[in-house]
Amino acid sequence: NFDMVEVRDGAGTDSTLLAVLTGSKGPTQDLFSTANEMTVWFFTDSEGYGRGFRANFTCGVDLGSPAPCAAHQFQCQTGSCIQGTGFCDGVADCPDGSDEADCVLLQVNGSGH
């Protein structure tokens, strides 16, 4: 028997489960909702008493999104920034290769004239 906090992305019990928290340690990372609602359920047993729990909530636009890159840079899908000259240059500069993902390679075969 134990106390538990369940966090879901959206409204209601059928929304996507983000985390189940137990014990004295909180989540190892922040939890973000992709919707405009988040469901937090607290379950407790009938044994003993404790100190309860503490939760901090922050709302806003684009929370959890990486800061934008400078104008001369390209933002990888991972959020990291590379020099703009590395975009579509045939070399994967982003850790996830996203700088080369949607590139089209045009090869021109000339006749030498």
Fold of 66-108: Low-density Lipoprotein Receptor (4.10.400)
* Contact present, 53 and 42 (Cβ < 8 Å): yes
Per the model's pLDDT, the better-predicted residue between 17 and 67 turns out to be 17
Per-residue pLDDT tens for 35-68? 788 899 888 776 766 666 777 777 776 676 777 8
Instruction: Calculate mean pLDDT across residues 98-102.
Output: 90
Q: Which two tokens stand for residue 85?
A: 């000259």
- pLDDT band of residue 99 (cuts 50, 70, 90) is very high
**pLDDT averaged over every residue in the chain:** 81
**Helical segments of the chain, H only:** none
- Compute the distance between CA of residue 101 and CA of residue 89 in angstroms, rounded to an integer: 11
Torsion (CA) 80, 57, 4, 15 in degrees, nearest 10: -70
- pLDDT band of residue 27 (cuts 50, 70, 90) is low
- Return the domain boundaries, the chain: 1-65, 66-108
- pLDDT band of residue 77 (cuts 50, 70, 90) is confident
